[in-house]
Amino acid sequence: MAKSKRKVKSKANQRKSSKTKQEKSSHPKSDDKPTKRFSNMRKFVIFCVFVAVIFLIFFLGNGKQGQTPATNLVPSGEITAGDTVSVKYVGRLMNGSIFDTNDEVAAKNAGFEIQHTDPFVFEIGSDMVVPGFEDAVLSLKNGERKKFVIKASDAYGMPDPTLIMDVPRTQEFSRFQTLNRTQNIPTDFFKELFTVEPEIGKVVSIESMPWEYEVVAVKADEVSIKSKPVQGQIVEVQGSAWNATVTAIDDKTVTLRADPVDGTTLATPFGDAKLSITSDMITITTNPVIGDVVTTMYWSGVVNAMNSTSITIDLNHPLAGKDLEFEIEVTDIEKADSAATTETLVAGATETTKTNKPKVLMFVMSFCPYGQQMMAVMKPVFELFGDKVDIEPHFVIYGSASYKGKESSYCMGDLCSMHGLYELEEDIRQACIWNDDHKAYWDYSECISQKCSKANLDSCWKSCADDFDIDTAEVEKCQKDEGKTMMGLEKMLNSQYGVQGSPTVFINGETFKGQRTPEDMKKAICSTFADVPSECSQTLGTGATTAAGDCG
């Protein structure tokens, strides 16, 4: 029997429907991440689709909120660890109302709008369901039914007040954006993009670009191109909600003005948003509905309050703090292969569940040598798999309790980093760059590891940014406006995953414990694919870059 792709009671699906104001499950999706860019061309796209930036920067990671540790398995009856079990179930709150079921008869009798009728299929011992549910199933045989109550502590845990946060309801942006006219791009990319050989004086363009470019310099590995905008030109960018107008041109820069219509309503993850336009500013105000589920590319949460300036989002599981009653029937048992009960990561990680798109969370400190080692390991893995694997860098953040009397040297409020404030500031810059452009992050962070230190960081990071055409002013703006919010979410994610030091890597929620080499990391990830891609047949480097220690 093939495993079900739907995990009705999965702890990974932390946003199950409660059928009060959350009618449908809204678990986070990580596919199709929008990538932006601080470089000139991509900056322009951001400028014309502001709303894509506003609502995605607040949510990082797909954590395990509300979970409790799995209990020891004590098999009885026919079901043992590694077996794949199919069940029909009805989940009720203690007042008798159904919050989830795949039983058509029970749903019809209760007037419940059923979302799925196929059996719920899961593997015993795979951490796919809350502990109390699995314990109850272990006592059953095929065809048996059981009714039981799971205490909140064995279900979705108690509500965590740190998972309730405020995000701004209103954002303001300048209508004007000044871009450098000259850009440097790799020669290979130039040839791929324009399908011609680079020659000084040659004018090139493609349909998705707003204007032509002239080749002004050619090196073996790099081509410099200069934009040829026209004063007053109306610029249309594919996928944007409005056009922009060229308002000023000089030899080095071009200035654009975004031209949305005042009063325009845009659909956003937070509900409809209204645009207010002045001669130089755009104000976006969101209008969420209390009780609605907000789903971003990383997190889901419930809007539980708002005022004129902020929206309060509760990231706790909707069933956190609630005792739950289940009625289940085992409809099928597929016995595990005794020679291979559960697939394990070949690089030494713990047991994991196979998926179509593995998710890798890498927690590091930007100036921890072992964290930098892991970043060097992960970079070729990212380049190999591209968007077939969801690889996310995160940062190890501590609370201020461990830094009493030293807060000014190590912390921003209650957000602290082991090596000092300079490291925390660099973590923020790297988070900003990652949110903007994934490839640029790997190039930039490698440069920081190789060239920068506490002593030269103020100038060195800008040099690294310049090397990869990253707009330092945009990074600094992100650092100032969004840094504490992002690191606050990183701290919560650290707590949810139990992160203590750098590096810590999770593959599909399980800790990676293998050798720190690109090849072993590749093998570990490949062992988690439901359908193994061709990239897994390629061999990456096998030599460890440094001794495998950690900071923390």
| Tens digits of residue pLDDT in 155-179 | 888 988 888 888 888 888 889 989 8
331 in helix, strand or coil? Answer: strand
State phi, psi for 50 to the nearest 5 degrees.
-55, -40
Amino acid present at 529: F
Query: What pLDDT sits at residue 296?
Result: 65
Is it the case that residue 406 has pLDDT exceeding 50?
yes
| Residue 460 exposed, middle or buried by CB count within 10 Å (0-12, 13-18, 19+) | middle
The confidence band for 154, taking pLDDT boundaries of 50, 70 and 90, is: confident
Query: What pLDDT sits at residue 432?
Result: 93
The confidence band for 237, taking pLDDT boundaries of 50, 70 and 90, is: low
Q: Which of 33-42, 75-84, 367-376 has the highest mean pLDDT?
A: 367-376
pLDDT tens digits for 492-502? 888 778 887 88
Average of per-residue pLDDT across 88-109: 93
Query: What pLDDT sits at residue 230?
Result: 94
Average of per-residue pLDDT across 264-268: 83
pLDDT > 70: what percent of the chain? 79
Give the DSSP H or E segment for 252: none
Better-predicted residue by pLDDT, 48 or 549: 549
Is it the case that residue 64 has pLDDT exceeding 60?
no
Average of per-residue pLDDT across 9-36: 30
Length of the chain in residues, anyone?
Answer: 552
Average of per-residue pLDDT across 105-121: 87
Query: What pLDDT sits at residue 69?
Result: 28
pTM: 0.45
53-62, 205-214, 222-231, 291-300: the lowest-pLDDT one: 53-62
Query: What pLDDT sits at residue 127?
Result: 66
pLDDT tens digits for 496-543? 788 878 899 999 888 887 778 888 899 889 988 888 889 988 888 655
Query: What pLDDT sits at residue 297?
Result: 52
Query: What pLDDT sits at residue 389?
Result: 92
Average of per-residue pLDDT across 417-429: 93
Average of per-residue pLDDT across 24-51: 31
Q: Tokens 């945009």, residue?
A: 474
> Would you list the DSSP string of 37-97?
-SSHHHHHHHHH-HHHHHTTTT------TT--PPPPP--BTTB-TT-EEEEEEEEEETTS-
Query: What pLDDT sits at residue 126?
Result: 66
Better-predicted residue by pLDDT, 22 or 543: 543
Q: What CATH superfamily classification does 359-537 receive?
A: Glutaredoxin (3.40.30.10)
Find out whether 315 and 488 touch, Cβ atoms under 8 Å: no
Average of per-residue pLDDT across 217-233: 93
Is it the case that residue 13 has pLDDT exceeding 70?
no
Is it the case that residue 182 has pLDDT exceeding 90?
yes
41-50, 85-94, 124-133, 185-194: the lowest-pLDDT one: 41-50
109-118, 281-290, 456-465: the lowest-pLDDT one: 109-118
Average of per-residue pLDDT across 451-459: 91
Query: What pLDDT sits at residue 548?
Result: 52
Give the DSSP H or E segment for 490: helix 472-497
Query: What pLDDT sits at residue 239?
Result: 53
Amino acid present at 524: A
Query: What pLDDT sits at residue 151?
Result: 92
**In angstroms, rounded to a whole number, what is the distance separating the alpha carbons of residues 135 and 21?**
30
pLDDT tens digits for 197-213? 999 999 999 877 889 99
Query: What pLDDT sits at residue 421?
Result: 92
Average of per-residue pLDDT across 243-254: 94
| Per-domain boundaries in the chain | 359-537
Non-local (6+) Cβ contacts of 431 within 8 A are: 60, 393, 395, 483, 486, 487, 490
Mean pLDDT, the chain, integer: 78
Average of per-residue pLDDT across 93-112: 93
Better-predicted residue by pLDDT, 182 or 401: 182
Find out whether 164 and 313 touch, Cβ atoms under 8 Å: yes
Is it the case that residue 346 has pLDDT exceeding 70?
no
